Amino acid sequence: MDSVVLLRPVPDPVEELELNDDGNDLDRDYLGYVLNEFDDHALEEALLLKEAAGGTLTVLGLGSADEMEQILHTALAKGADEAIKLGDDLSHLSVSAQTEIFVSALEGRSYDLILTGVQAADELDGQLAVRVAAKLRIPHVSVVVGADAGDGSVRVTKEFWGGITADYQVQTPTVLGIQAARQAPRYVAVSLIRQAQQSGALSEIDVDPPPDKSGVRVVSVRVPETGVGAEMIGGDEEAAAEKIVEIIRAAGVK
């Protein structure tokens, strides 16, 4: 079963986000990017499928200057056969534009499965997995938490809510929006990443950002008012611990 995994960089979720001067986007000048965590799970699930059922594994990464090369080398070190970086500075495109880029990169390739993260925190105009599937006119399943390759089909587990899941048999080729792989994304030794850097298995395709056809425009952004209703505890950790214990006791615990 041949798989292609679509990888996107997103602003590092643990960083504090600053706004630009126009107040309509993040200040991207100093923003650190990391691999979208759901895409990391998509890669892991693809690696597990390859280990179980064979086939090739290709990763396509939407370019952002340095981070994506590192991400793609890591994917190669983990076991991907081929890695392709698309474009150079495409980290803030709409999902509609990302879809155009990935779909044209997929043209002429043969694959049974396309996997990507179920969502990204900045996907304002829809989910990449479903948009790519609809564009390619192939089936899709979102919020997948496990897959099992068969002959001409794949069996996937989709999560609904409250812990209820459903199993689906889906015809291939198909696109899976991965919520979580069957196991946590693996770690890989730095020495293997260095080997991948020297292997030459990473190639690049020049991509001009397509015109944005999403029809959605951000007028303004803001950091939501926080602390509304929350009484903030001041002081150092010792003072905070004392206050927290006091609050817990006042709430009727012990």
Partner 1 sequence: MSDVFVVTEHLQGELTETSFELIALARDIAAQTGGRVVAGLVGSGVIGLAAELGGADRIVVVDDPAFENFSPDGHAAVYASLIEGSPIVLIPYTSMGMDVASALSTTSGIPLVSFCTSISVDDGLGATCQLYAGKIEADVEVAGDRAIFAVLSGSTSAEDGRSGAAAEVTRVDNPVESELRSTCLGLTEPEGGDVDITSEDVLVVVGRGIESEDNIAEAQEVADLLGGAVAGSRPIIDQGWLAKDRQVGKSGLTVKPKVYLTLGVSGAPEHVEGMKDAETIIAVNTDPQAPIFAVAHYGWVGDIFDLLPELVDKLEAD
Sites for partner 1 among residues 114-133 (CB under 8 A)? 118-119, 121-127, 129-131, 133
Q: Which of residues 208-247 bind partner 1 (CB under 8 A)?
A: 214-233, 236-238, 240-245, 247
Residues 62-81 binding partner 1 (CB under 8 A) are none
Residues 175-204 close enough to bind partner 1 by CB under 8 A: 177, 179-180, 183-184
To partner 1, the closest distance from the beta carbon of 107 in angstroms equals 17
As measured in angstroms, the least distance from the Cβ of 25 to partner 1 is 9
User: Which member of 29, 151, 161, 208 binds partner 1 (CB under 8 A)?
Assistant: 161
Structure tokens, 5: 């995994």
In terms of phi and psi (left: phi > 0; alpha: psi -120 to 50; beta: otherwise), the region of 83 is beta
Residue in the block written with tokens 């015109």: 211
Q: Report in angstroms how near the CB of residue 121 gets to partner 1 at its nearest.
A: 5
Contact between 159 and partner 1 (CB under 8 A)?
yes
Output 169 or 203, the one with its CB closest to partner 1.
169
Identify the burial level of 250 via C-beta atoms within 10 angstroms of its C-beta, where 0-12 means exposed, 13-18 middle and 19 or more buried.
Answer: exposed
- 77, 195 contact by CB (below 8 A): yes
CB of 96 to partner 1, least distance (A): 8
Cβ proximity to partner 1: between 74 and 99 the closer is 99
CA–CA separation, 75 and 72 (whole Å): 5
Q: Which of 3, 64, 74, 99 binds partner 1 (CB under 8 A)?
A: 99
Sole binder of partner 1 in the list 20, 155, 203, 205 (CB under 8 A): 155
Query: Which CB contacts under 8 angstroms, 24+ apart, belong to 144-147?
Result: 144/45, 144/118, 144/176, 144/177, 144/178, 144/179, 145/178, 145/179, 145/180, 145/182, 146/45, 146/181, 146/182, 147/45, 147/49, 147/113, 147/115, 147/176
Which is closer to partner 1, CB of 186 or CB of 194?
A: 186
CB atoms within 10 A of CB 37: 15
